Structure 1
C-alpha cells in the first residue's frame, strides 16, 4: 500500500512538471569593479595617467599618451585604448578585480580579440591635454 502511494505521488509530481512553463534562460551577471567605474568617470588627463601606468607596469614604453577612449567589453573585461606620441596604440583590458592586461593594438585582432576601435559614447575618445594645453 505504501509503495503504491509513493508511485502515485511521484506520478502526480511528474505530471505537474509537464504542465509547467519552460524555465527562463539564465541571467548574465556583470561584475564591475570600482577601478573600472573610475576609468569611465575620469577626465581625459586622469584616464591617460591610469592607462599609461598600466602600460609601464608591463615594461612597455609610452612617453606621452595623446588620446584615450573606451573600446568595449570582452567577456568580463573593459577594453580601453591609449595612443602614444610615438605612434603606438595600446589595448588595455581592465578586469573586475582591477587588474590590467596590455596588448599592442596591431596584435589584438590577429589573436581573435576585438579590434582597437574607440566607441563614440560618453566615455569616447578624448585628446589628452594638461593645464598648459600640451
Structure 2
C-alpha cells in the first residue's frame, strides 16, 4: 500500500477533479495533524466521499468521483472505508490520525478501463 497525506482536509469537498494519474512519491504533513479521525467522523457522507476521493487520486488511482463509501473494520488500528468510484472500482482507504491515508484496491473489484 502506498501512503499519502491528506492535505487541507477542510478544503477537500471543494477539490477539483483531474490529474495526470501518476502516483506522487512525496508525502507532506497535513496542516492540522492529530485530529483527522475526529474531523472525518464529524463529516456527512458527501464530505467524507470528497476526502476519500482526494486520497484515491493522490495515490494515482483512476477515479473521477466517489459515489458511496462504507465504513469497514479498522486496518492496522486505523479507521477504514471502502470507497466506490464512478467507474465501479472499489478502494480500501485507511486513514491515520496523522492524516496519512493508505489506499489499496479491493480484491475482486473490476479493473478500471485504461484511459
TM (norm. structure 1) is 0.52
Q: What do residues 63-102 of structure 1 show as CA deviations (whole Å, max 9, x unaligned)?
A: 1211112112123211111101101010001112110010
Q: Which residue of 2 aligns with 1:96?
A: 97
SS at match of 2:56: helix
Gaps of 5+ in 1: 1-32, 108-134
Q: Which has the larger radius of gyration?
A: 1
Residue 43 (structure 2) aligns with? 42
Give the SS at the match of 2:107: helix
Q: Which has the higher strand share?
A: 2
Number of paired residues?
75
For the pair 1:83 / 2:84, whether they are aligned, the reply is: yes
Alignment map for 1:13-28 (pairs within 5 Å): none
Q: CA RMSD in A?
A: 1.4
What pairs with 1:45-124 in structure 2 (closer than 5 Å)? 45-106=46-107
Q: Distance in 2 between matches of 1:68 and 1:104?
A: 14
CA distance in 2, matches of 1:80, 1:41: 15
Give unmatched runs, 5+ long, in structure 2.
Answer: 1-33, 109-115
Normalized per residue, the structure richer in helix is: 1
